[in-house]
C-alpha cells in the first residue's frame, strides 16, 4: 500500500549510489545476491537475540534490494535478474520471521508459522496473477519498471519492513506484530483472488 510513496522517498537516495556501483562494474545480480546475504545475516542476528543489529542489517538489505533495480536500469534489465530478485526476496521474507522463531520458540513459533504461511499464500497469489496477466498481455506501471505484472495490495514491502523493524525494537511484542501482519497479508491475498476473478473471467 505504501510502496509507491516509499519508492519516491528512496529513489533519489539510491540513484547516485547506483551510478557509482554501475561505474565500478558491479552487476545488478551481484547486488541482489549481496542484499539477500545481508538479510540472512540479519535473520541469524535476530535468532541470537541481537535485535538492534538485526534491524540495521534488515535496513541495509532492503536498501540493496532497491539498489539492484537502479543498477539494472543503468546496465540493462534481464529476465534472469528479475527472476533472481523475486526468488531472493521470498528467501529474505521467510528468513526474518524464522529468526524470531529461533530466538524464542515457545512464544514465537505459532505466530511466526502463521506469518510465514500468510507470506506463502500471498506470494502464490501474486505470482499466479502475474503469470495470468502475462498470458493475457496485460501491462501496468503502478510500481515503475518491473520484471512482471505487479499488483498492489494492503501489505507490500514497506509495511512488511516496518513490521520487522517494529519487532526488532519491541521483540517481546513479536507474536502480536506477526499475527496482525499475517491477518493483513491474508486479506491482501484474498483481495488479489477477488481481483483475479474479475479480471480473468
Domain ranges of the chain: 3-199
What's residue 109's pLDDT?
98
Radius of gyration in angstroms for the set of CA atoms belonging to the chain, rounded to a whole number = 17
Cell 533519489 maps to which residue? 12
Residue 3, all three cell numbers:
510502496
DSSP conformation class of 173? G
- Dist CA 111 CA 108 (whole Å): 6
- pLDDT tens by residue, 30-85: 999 999 999 999 999 999 999 999 999 999 999 999 898 889 888 888 889 989 99
Local structure of residue 172 (DSSP, 8 states): G
Superfamily of domain covering 3-199 = CDP-alcohol phosphotransferase transmembrane (TM) domain (1.20.120.1760)
pLDDT of residue 5: 63
Task: Indicate the Cα dihedral angle 111, 58, 61, 10, nearest 10°.
Answer: 110
Amino acid at each position: 500500500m505504501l510502496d509507491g510513496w516509499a519508492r519516491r522517498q528512496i529513489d533519489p537516495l539510491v540513484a547516485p549510489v547506483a551510478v557509482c556501483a554501475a561505474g565500478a562494474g558491479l552487476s545488478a545480480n551481484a547486488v541482489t545476491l549481496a542484499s539477500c546475504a545481508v538479510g540472512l545475516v540479519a535473520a541469524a542476528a535476530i535468532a541470537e537475540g541481537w535485535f538492534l543489529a538485526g534491524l540495521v542489517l534488515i535496513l541495509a538489505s532492503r536498501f540493496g534490494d532497491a539498489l539492484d533495480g537502479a543498477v539494472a536500469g543503468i546496465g540493462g534489465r534481464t529476465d534472469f535478474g528479475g527472476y533472481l530478485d523475486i526468488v531472493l526476496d521470498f528467501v529474505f521474507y521467510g528468513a526474518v520471521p524464522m529468526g524470531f522463531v529461533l530466538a524464542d520458540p515457545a512464544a514465537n513459533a505459532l505466530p511466526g508459522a502463521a506469518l510465514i504461511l500468510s507470506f506463502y499464500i500471498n506470494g502464490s497469489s501474486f505470482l499466479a496473477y502475474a503469470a495470468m496477466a502475462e498470458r493475457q498481455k496485460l501491462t501496468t506501471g503502478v510500481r515503475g519498471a518491473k520484471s512482471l505484472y505487479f499488483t498492489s495490495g494492503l501489505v507490500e514491502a514497506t509495511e512488511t519492513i516496518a513490521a520487522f523493524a517494529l519487532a526488532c525494537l519491541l521483540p517481546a511484542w513479536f507474536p502480536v506484530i506477526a499475527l496482525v501482519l499475517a491477518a493483513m497479508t491474508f486479506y491482501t491475498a484474498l483481495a488479489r483472488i477477488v481481483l483475479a476473478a474479475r479480471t480473468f473471467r
